[in-house]
Structure 1
Amino acid sequence: MCTHEPPCPTASGADHGAAQIVACHLAQGWSLLCNGVLTFEDTGELPPDGQIVGPHRPTGKVPA
């Protein structure tokens, strides 16, 4: 899917969020990366396999 040089990380890679944005809709809060991952402004994700990844932004709470 990716035609960038060097190629962007795959959707299953640990660094998948580093792929380039190919489409975005800021008013709706989402971006489509060239590896097929949809990212949302709340830090949630929807990879091409359809598995939902919930928001994972820092909460500011210190673990006990």
Structure 2
Amino acid sequence: MCQHQPPCPSAHSADRESARLAAHHPEQGWSLLCNGVVLFEDTGELLPDGQIIAPHRPDVRRVATAV
């Protein structure tokens, strides 16, 4: 799928979110990455095989109390 050199990380690699943007629709809250991953503004993901990755935002309450 990716034609970049070096190629973007695959959809199943740990760093999949670092792939380049193929389409960006902030008004709808999602972006399509070069590796076929749909990344949602709540940090959830939809992989090309249909697998869902739950949102993984940091817990703001925990970060606020640690500071």
Asked if these proteins are the same fold (TM beyond 0.5), I'd say yes
Q: Which runs of 5+ in 2 are unaligned?
A: 63-67
Aligned residues: 62
2-side partners of 1:60 and 1:27: how far apart?
24
How far apart are residue 59 of structure 1 and its match? 1.2
**CA deviations over 1:4-36 (Å, ceiling 9, x no partner):** 011000001010000000001110010000100
Following TM superposition, where does structure 1 have runs of at least 4 consecutive aligned residues deviating by more than 2 angstroms? none
Q: Which has the larger radius of gyration?
A: 2
TM (norm. structure 2) is 0.87
Unaligned runs of 5+ in 1: none
Greater helix content: 2
State the Cα distance separating 1:61 from its structure 2 match.
3.8
User: Counterparts of 1:8-47 in structure 2 under 5 Å?
Assistant: 8-47=8-47
TM-score (norm 1): 0.91
Q: What is the RMSD computed on CA atoms of the aligned residues?
A: 0.8
